[in-house]
Amino acid sequence: MLSIVIALIATVLLLVWMGFFMMGSLPLLVLKHDTPLDSHFIRSLFNVYYLAVVLTAGAAALSFAWSGKPAFALGMAVIATLAYALRRWIIIPRMDVLRHTIPAIDASIFQFRRLHIAGMMLNVAQLGAVAWALTQLAL
């Protein structure tokens, strides 16, 4: 019983991080993304978000595995792995490359904005998957 409580607490924390990021990053689309300060702030926000998701989804995966729910453990492990991959190899490295070219190349601003939106859409998909999985927990 304790293991499922810990798993649910970790899952709720994951939902809090995902919801906070979704609500916090949406207003940042108003920024023009044309200064290094704007791009640095957005990149830092994504970095913190991915770290939080990796840690909380990893804790939830371990807790679900401990409670004998392998399907949920696998789902949380997939979310943690995806967040790690996005942070390590996809979103953050591309933001770093574009961030340094923003003042000089106008196309970089558009690409950075598209990357920002893509990261947000991936977050919404992950949030939906976790929310849907929670509805299946009682079944």
C-alpha–C-alpha distance, residues 52 and 17, integer Å:
7
Cα separation, 50 vs 67, in Å, equals: 25
What are the extents of the domains in the chain? 2-136
Helical (H) or strand (E) element with 91:
helix 91-99
CA dihedral 109, 110, 114, 117 (to 10 degrees): 70
Q: Residue 138: pLDDT band by 50, 70, 90 thresholds?
A: low
Residues 127 and 97: their CA atoms lie apart, in Å, by: 27
Q: What pLDDT was estimated at residue 98?
A: 85
Cα separation of the two ends of the chain: 17
pLDDT at 1: 82
80-99 pLDDT per residue, tens: 999 999 999 988 999 888 88
pLDDT, tens digit, 9 for 90 and up, residues 32-91:
777 778 888 899 999 999 999 999 999 999 999 999 999 999 999 999 999 999 999 988
Question: Does residue 139 surpass a pLDDT of 70?
Answer: no
